[in-house]
Amino acid sequence: MTASEQTTTAHPPHDAADISGGRLPHLWTRTLGDLTITYVPDAGVHMIPTRVYPASADEDWADHGPHMTDAGHLAMSCGALLVERGGKRLLLDAGHGSISGEDPEHFQHGFDHVQTLPDHLKSLGVDPATLETVAFTHLHDDHTGWARPDAVDDPRSLFPNARWLVGAGELEGPDPAAGPRLAGQDERTTAVADGTEIAEGVRAWALPGHTTGHTAWVLDTGDGRRVVAFGDAMHSPVQVQHPDWEVVLDHDRAEAEDSRRRLVEFLAQDGVFGFGVHFADQQLGTVDDAGRWRPWEDGRDNR
């Protein structure tokens, strides 16, 4: 059974007024027009907010309680987006991968769960070997996860037959001394220019700054709406209100801020949805008239 044939998996029941980002990310499927998208979680992470956003101070977070855990950490998610249309599939990003979760970075408090993406794909009836394309927003480890050479015993990765697509300039960013980020990187990877259509209704949108070739993927739903999978152009809904807050790992602060501002402006348009892979349990949503992130409401079209 494909994801498009399944009943939509909603978040667990909760008070409608509670949009807390403290819960773990969950598998969900949404169909918009002739497009079906499925969020495939791989890890839930609790971050130290002032370390993720070094321009912020503790008092700046007083108004962002809905995105925090009870312990005062910023909830984030890691995973991938499965895109289906007309019987064809592609994957956007490849999750965090086979990490232990026992050695967090200095800006992380800890992990909630890890190594679930392969199990979720299996539950969706998706054999990773049948996926022909994996497109990456960028090549940081929490996005290349299961596509890395050391992801599984097979050196071709979890996706042995897939071609890799990245934005123009992204391959020039990583340090060559660190080795390839992707299995068979030299032979299997194609860099695509801004605006390139990589599959029916799926186009590259260059949003550099977080990395040299950071790229969002704009999905046409076929009924006049669009979904933007924007990777690390924003890491949390708070950046919708604070596009000037750089992230600790941003490669070029000014360029990243410009990309965020362009993204927020685009997401505020009618018929445009955003998919933020790190947005805890609020990955799909829009920017409302008040300039805030508005998560998708189950059973209701936000636009």
Give tens-digit pLDDT for 39-94: 999 988 888 889 989 999 989 888 887 788 878 888 889 999 999 999 999 999 99
pLDDT at 23 over 70: no
pLDDT at 126 over 70: yes
Round to whole Å and give the CA distance between 213 and 166.
8
Return the CATH superfamily for domain 23-295. Ribonuclease Z/Hydroxyacylglutathione hydrolase-like (3.60.15.10)
H/E stretch holding 258 reads helix 253-267
pLDDT tens for 231-254 read: 999 999 999 999 999 999 899 999
Structure tokens at 193: 């220019």
Round to whole Å and give the CA distance between 64 and 107.
18
pLDDT tens for 179-233 read: 899 999 999 999 999 999 999 999 999 999 999 999 999 999 999 999 999 999 9
Q: Residue 150: how many CB atoms within 10 A of its CB?
A: 11
pLDDT at 290 over 80: yes
- Provide the pairing of β-strand 35-47 with 28-32: antiparallel
Round to whole Å and give the CA distance between 237 and 251.
20
Round to whole Å and give the CA distance between 227 and 205.
12
Look at the alpha carbons of 257, 262, 268, 272 in this order and tell me if their dihedral is positive or negative. Answer: negative
pLDDT at 19 over 80: no
